Amino acid sequence: MEFHFTEEQDMTADVVRNLLADLCTPADLRRLMASGAARDDVRWQSIVEMGLAGAMVSEDHGGLGLSSADFIRVAEVCGYAALPEPLVENTAVALPLLADAAPDAPALSRALDGEITVAVGHPANPFVADADTAGAILMPRDGALYLVDPASASLVEQPSIDPFRRLSGVDFAPEEARLLTVQAQPLLDRALDRGALFVAAQLVGIAQACVDMAVAYAKERKQFGKPIGSYQAVKHQLASAQVKIEFARPVVYAAAAALPQHDDFSRARVSHAKLAAGAAADLAARTAIQVHGAMGYSWEVDVHFFLKRAIALENTWGTPAFHRARVAHRVLTQPLGPEHTFAREHSDV
């Protein structure tokens, strides 16, 4: 079994990292917030031109056919930049769901071309993210899945701690929407796993961004004539946060590799990844604020963008309690031991 990324996977992540380093800095986030816009058109167009919108849709349906392992570090990079645009949810959740349910839908072709984004309503999430800027919304109702035109639906804005993660309550009339399937649960279950996994990747990126910002500040800020980073109390806090990240990151990568199994083992890995990444992001963000001191709580310090995103994502695509229950289910109902570390239900039980 290979435990390293391929050269192509490394290259994809590096290209996206470099793009966002240029176009999605905290200064860019502040300008976007001041304008009140939901997304930056130049940045989004650059992302579309890279072909990322259809990255996880199969080649048969017009996408790039990337796997979860191919895309996992792209999602991590998006978390590191606190990307406002819904690249991850659109690419890794919405479009694969739409392609599975209705590969002939015109909305899929438009989304693959980057003309529109598609938002997802899911029972795991009380509200729909980015519905107000979507060209189509996937909504479940009574076990069925519908493709909804936002113009025919009622969208009610909901408060969000993250100013760049816009939430809406969505109400629609089924007779005015396109029925995609009457047996949506298997598709929704897979969407949940994808959503949780790629949120976990973003949380790892958020955590690393917080530690990096805190380290940079600790090198510059002087107290009693020395950089505060030279004091053990500060070093220990940052080291603890970094250790938390280093333990979470391989859990996320392992979950990405196991995702295609669609069994109790892979679901537990996804849940473990979500829990580990959430804990790392929480500790890293709070540590970064503490290292910055009292000013860390102020609007002027960039850490707040990442803290708010981490809080917003923690309960998205399953609460911690939900994911702990899935891990417990695997532990209590499936074989344990080193020989089952990489087990699959169909071949190892």
Strand partners, 195: none
DSSP letters, 248-273, are HHHHHHHHHHHGGG-SHHHHHHHHHH
Predicted confidence at residue 347, as pLDDT, reads: 60
Within 8 A by CB and 6+ apart from 115, the residues are 135
Predicted confidence at residue 289, as pLDDT, reads: 94
Same fold across 7-183 and 186-348: no
User: Residue 346 corresponds to which tokens in the numbers above?
Assistant: 């169909």
Predicted confidence at residue 102, as pLDDT, reads: 93
141 membership: H or E segment, kind and range: strand 136-141
Where in the chain are the domains? 7-183, 186-348
Within 8 A by CB and 6+ apart from 277, the residues are 199, 200, 201, 203, 204, 207, 248, 251, 252
Predicted confidence at residue 1, as pLDDT, reads: 53
Collect the ranges in the chain with pLDDT lower than 70: 1-3, 222, 229-231, 343, 345-349
Radius of gyration of the chain (CA): 20
Predicted confidence at residue 36, as pLDDT, reads: 87
177 and 139 Cβ atoms separated by less than 8 Å: yes
Pairing of strands 222-223, 154-158: unpaired
Query: How far, in Å, CA of 239 to CA of 317, rounded?
Result: 29
Q: Please, what's the b/e burial string for 302-337 (b: 16 or more CB within 10 A of its CB; e: otherwise)?
A: bbbbbbbbbbbbbbbbbeeeebeebbeebeeebeee
Predicted confidence at residue 226, as pLDDT, reads: 80
Strand partners, 118: 136
Task: Please give the CATH topology (third level) of the domain spanning 186-348.
Answer: Butyryl-CoA Dehydrogenase, subunit A; domain 3 (1.20.140)
Domain 7-183 sits in CATH 1.10.1490.10: no
